[in-house]
Structure 1
């Protein structure tokens, strides 16, 4: 029987997985969630003998039930191929008492590749299944990584256009150059005078604008999303937590059914939500440790039960987490509200109107799976420096936020025995200046690419292809606009009146 999906704000209307992937966002502004979270139906012993691609099929077939075996395996095999620089796809590295799950071996050296390598294939397959004739316009806001990974995935994919908005002064130099040099006749990049939350809110508003949808339809276009609000992004992210556990079991690092902790640096909440879904599928997980930077809206939420975005927006050295509106949290809120769409809709209306909401004491009790904390900029730099000096292993700023929060978790709880996986979400080469400054301020006078070469020497790691290919790459995109001009910019790029 097919697993159907409904909106977090209206559970009456049910649609298939492929329809949910195509739409991206529900018509009522809610996010699509499965009617239930399916249980894993293969043992850890079986999983431990499988490749990444095989594990992906075993997880994703349970969520994407209207895809045939051939369709799904085709999507998986086309996604997880030589674009990744290791056949393991997501290797585990042990350092200083924790297992770092390296999610950055794809074509843009960030964890977004794990899902955005497969999303174009899921989307095109979904379009064919549903007889879509329009050209699909992927409309996306990025805090740094999603944009490049999405464009790399969709570049020159027939029947699609992709438009990415990013905060002009809110990403790292490497992140920006990766986006601005992206090839592909169907790729478009726009810097906005504003922050990520403003970009994301404006993109959501375009999705919810019925008059705009009619205008686009008349011109032969329809919007879809590559942001983590798309269920086609979330489901592939569940895979790597299941894979990580199967590898730990294969290495005899954990016994059968032994619980592990998972630490995730998060801003938009999608990556840790995927770990939560994995736990609810039956993966033996003790604590889900939610790591924030100084934009600690999630830490405050887990501590108090109040979500409040009314605060200063802080630009940090972990820019992909510089987010005050954590869109995917809505999926968790819906679940702890007992899958009550009306209750969730009320809370989201409060967020839209007042910028905050408070969950009930009963709902807060259901957050016991999570531990939240944050690290300051100073603490993040100290973690990078100490880990390098102690082990020679170099991590990026986002991963350092997670490692720093894990240290705080151990101190607060005394739990030092539970095996722990830390989601390492980006290569240190993506944030070379911040990483090298943390290791030693003497590198401050070097250019970005001199820092790349120095980092390669220090860590004894080859410079990734994603960096090499942009050294001398030509800037292909130079559009910048104000937030209130985003819709007009989209129309202009598509030639829509």
Structure 2
């Protein structure tokens, strides 16, 4: 299978080359030339397979230039070796009225591990397959979870360096500590003065700067990305939609062939887009419910067809969703229209004017799959408290947003299909906000006292990766402005 840019320029390439590049030369995102279709027999064949075996089957449909042995090796190294604290990797907790897909049992306690344990393996294999001799520099902009997951995944991987930019004051303290204590000879963490969109725009500017790329080439370095703009980061996320469906069938919540709904806390649109690919492949998904916080640019877009980032930016208790420019939406627009020229035009309008309008006809087509709403911080806290009281289950703040919006969807539509809440982080990662939602006074507590207090209420233990932070020294101290990010990259390369 070949891959091309959403903006239409450049030759079609194999998946290995697309994964190494990360971003197309014209600034677009790589997309498959076609989306493979599966049938009922394929779905039935997944039922008795482990998560790793399911992943190998599904990835093999997209990464056709990798051998079966290469894919199996990548998957085993990503998900095996006790990296996850559960054999099921992505278990589903079922309740009478809803199911919760827990994607945070990996080493950094966030859903990004599902992809970012695998991407380094895919990229390292791709470098060998293509005979690439240059060093690859992974540049990442993170709103919290991607940074640590990428750092952990790429730590000390040969021929690859990784540099993570995060918004200063724009991530939780636990997320910050996870990044700043990261070990590894090939890693760098730098704070950017501003919000996530400043960090993300700065990274995109670096990728689009041909002169800077030439300067890096002089050091024997080429750029790539571990954000969900990289196809190798997005394709692993398709797997857990299939995995969740098979779990529901096994649990007797649905019969094979029944359609289900997924409610997804959404910022950069990668997680929910993976569900779109799964649906296009033939997984029986009825609606993908896009759940947002007060930075509700996606809610407005999916209701009106107008994407407008010209609005106030809100810092919320769901910092991983504090985003106004959702990069992966570009892929959806391309697949819905099949028109790279129009897609490129909308992205140009977004860059120059901060908005674009896709029109009523295309909006109606998108709404056949997507439904959207948003909730405030107060609604998020209320949901956490209510779920704890009724189910003795503690969702993190992002999961609570998806849960609340799922309830709004049901109230609005009356749709009684099985509902899956996509749970993207352990509650321990956002312990202060979760404890406040549960009615606890947190004033004067440090992060580790917060962890211990939450442990007293939660059935699940504190993840080892978080508990061990107490003894780890801070290793990264870099801070820069957005306009200084290129200089920061050069300083890291020369170090």
Q: TM-score when scaled to structure 1?
A: 0.98
Contact 2:10 2:25 in 1 (8 A): no
In structure 2, the partner of 1:228 is 228
Alignment partners' CA distance in 2, 1:419 and 1:46: 22
- Asked whether the equivalents of residues 307 and 357 of structure 2 are also in contact (C-alpha less than 8 Å), the reply is yes
Question: Residues 374 and 96 of structure 1: is their aligned pair in 2 closer, same or farther, counting only changes over 3 Å?
Answer: farther
CA contact (8 A) 1:160 1:186 kept: yes
The count of aligned residue pairs is 492
Aligned twin of 1:238: 238
- Separation in 2, partners of 1:251, 1:492: 53
On the 8 A contact 1:293/1:375 being kept in 2, the answer is yes
**Structure 1, residues 351-377: CA drift from partner, whole Å, max 9, x if none?**
010000000222112112000000111
CA deviation digits over 1:66-113, x for unaligned, max 9? 000111110000001111000100000123611100000000000000
Give the equivalent residue in structure 2 for 1:430: 429
* Paired position in structure 2 for 1:8: 6
Which residue number in structure 2 is paired with residue 448 of structure 1? 447
What is the distance in 2 between the residues matched to 1:458 and 1:79? 31
Q: Which runs of 4+ in 1 moved over 3 A?
A: none
Secondary structure at the residue paired with 1:470?
Answer: helix
Q: 1:31-430 alignment to 2 at 5 Å?
A: 31-40=29-38, 42-81=41-80, 82-95=82-95, 97-337=97-337, 339-367=338-366, 368-415=368-415, 417-430=416-429
Question: For residues 441 and 267 of structure 2, what CA distance do their matches in structure 1 show?
Answer: 31
Structure 1 residue 412 displacement after superposition: 0.6
Q: Distance in 2 between matches of 1:348 and 1:473?
A: 42
| CA distance in 2: counterparts of 1:228 and 1:377, whole angstroms | 26
| Superimposed CA distance per residue, residues 106-155 of structure 1 (whole angstroms, 9 cap, x where no aligned partner) | 00000000000000010011111111101110001000010000000011
Which has the larger displacement, 320-329 or 447-456? 447-456
SS of residue in 2 equivalent to 1:190:
strand
Distance 2:216 2:42 in 1: 47
Q: CA deviation at 1:446?
A: 2.6
How far does the alpha carbon of each residue in 1:426-475 deviate from its partner, in whole angstroms, 9 at most, with x for none?
00000000000010142344322111112112012211011111012100
Superposition RMSD on alpha carbons, in Å?
Answer: 1.1
Q: Secondary structure at the match of 1:442?
A: coil
Which range is displaced more, 40-49 or 12-21? Answer: 40-49
Which of the numbers 16, 19, 25 marks the counterpart of 2:23?
25
Structure 1 CA distance for aligned equivalents of residues 195 and 441 of structure 2: 31
- Cα deviation 1:308-366 (Å, max 9, x = unaligned): 000011000000000000000000111222x1000111111100100000002221121
Matched residues in 2 for 1:119 and 1:9: separation?
Answer: 24
Give secondary structure in 2 for the equivalent of 1:317.
coil
Q: For 1:25-50, what per-residue CA distance to the aligned partner results, in whole angstroms no more than 9, with x for missing partners?
A: 00000000001110126532211100
- TM-aligned CA deviation for residue 22 of structure 1: 0.6
Give the distance between the partners of 2:468 and 2:445, measured in 1 at CA: 20
Mapped partners of 1:65, 1:444: distance in 2? 54
Retained in 2: the 8 A contact 1:265–1:290? yes
Tell me how far 1:185 sits from its aligned partner: 0.8
Give secondary structure in 2 for the equivalent of 1:27: coil
1:279-325 CA distance string (max 9 Å, x none): 00000011110000000000000111000000011000000000000
Answer yes or no: is the 8 Å Cα contact 1:249–1:256 preserved in 2. Answer: yes
Determine helix, strand or coil for the equivalent of 2:137.
Answer: strand
TM-score (norm 2): 0.98
Q: Matched residues in 1 for 2:78 and 2:325: separation?
A: 29
How far apart are the structure 2 equivalents of 1:146 and 1:284?
29
d(CA) in 2 for partners of 1:67, 1:45: 25
- Taking the aligned partners of 1:243 and 1:349, their CA distance within structure 2 comes to 37
